Copies of this chain bind each other. A is one copy, B any other.
Amino acid sequence: MADQKIYQASTTAPVNIAVVKYWGKRDPKLNLPTNSSISVTLSQSDLRTHTTAACSASFPTSDSLLLNSSPQDVTGARTQACFRELRSLRAALEASDSSLPKLSTLPLKIVSENNFPTAAGLASSAAGFAALVRAIANLYDLSSSPTELSRIARQGSGSACRSLFGGYVAWQMGTKDDGSDSLAVEVAPASHWPTMRALILVASAKQKKVSSTSGMQTTVATSELFQRRAEIVVPKHMEEMEKAIKEKDFEAFGRVTMMESNSFHSTCSDTFPPIRYMNDVSWAAVGVVEDINRKAGKIVAAYTFDAGPNAVIYYEEANTDIVAGVVKGALGSVSGWESREIKAQASDVLDAADVEVLKKGITRVILTQVGEGPIKTEESLI
Contacts and interface: CB of A to CB of B under 8 A. Distances in A.
Interface of A: 206, 208, 224-225, 227-229, 232-233, 236, 255, 258-259, 262-263, 265-267, 269-274, 276, 279-280, 283, 286-287, 290, 351, 353
**10 closest Cβ contacts across the A-B interface?**
A266-B270, A266-B266, A228-B228, A225-B225, A280-B280, A224-B233, A266-B269, A262-B274, A259-B272, A262-B270
Contacts of A208: 287, 351
A262 B267 contact: no
A152 to B, nearest CB: 33
B258 A262 contact: no
A286 B274 contact: yes
Contacts of A259: 224, 272
Nearest to A232: B224
29 contacts: A208-B287, A208-B351, A224-B228, A224-B229, A224-B259, A225-B225, A225-B229, A225-B233, A225-B267, A225-B270, A227-B228, A228-B228, A255-B272, A258-B272, A258-B273, A262-B269, A262-B271, A262-B274, A263-B270, A265-B269, A266-B266, A266-B267, A266-B269, A269-B269, A273-B290, A274-B286, A276-B283, A279-B280, A279-B283
A273 B236 CA distance: 18
A228 B273 CA distance: 19
A242 to B, nearest CB: 18
A224 B263 contact: yes
A207 B32 CA distance: 40
A290 to B, nearest CB: 6
Which of A232, A269, A276, A290 has the most B CB atoms < 10 Å from its CB? Answer: A269
- Majority secondary structure of chain A interface residues (helix, strand, loop or mixed): helix
Contacts of A280: 279-280
Nearest to A275: B262
Nearest to A225: B225
A282 to B, nearest CB: 10
Given A259-B272, A266-B267, 6 more contacts: A224-B232, A262-B270, A262-B271, A263-B270, A265-B269, A273-B290
A333 to B, nearest CB: 23
Given A206-B353, A280-B280, A353-B206, A225 B274 contact: no
A353 B168 CA distance: 40
Contacts of A229: 224-225
Contacts of A269: 262, 265-266, 269
A206 B353 CA distance: 9
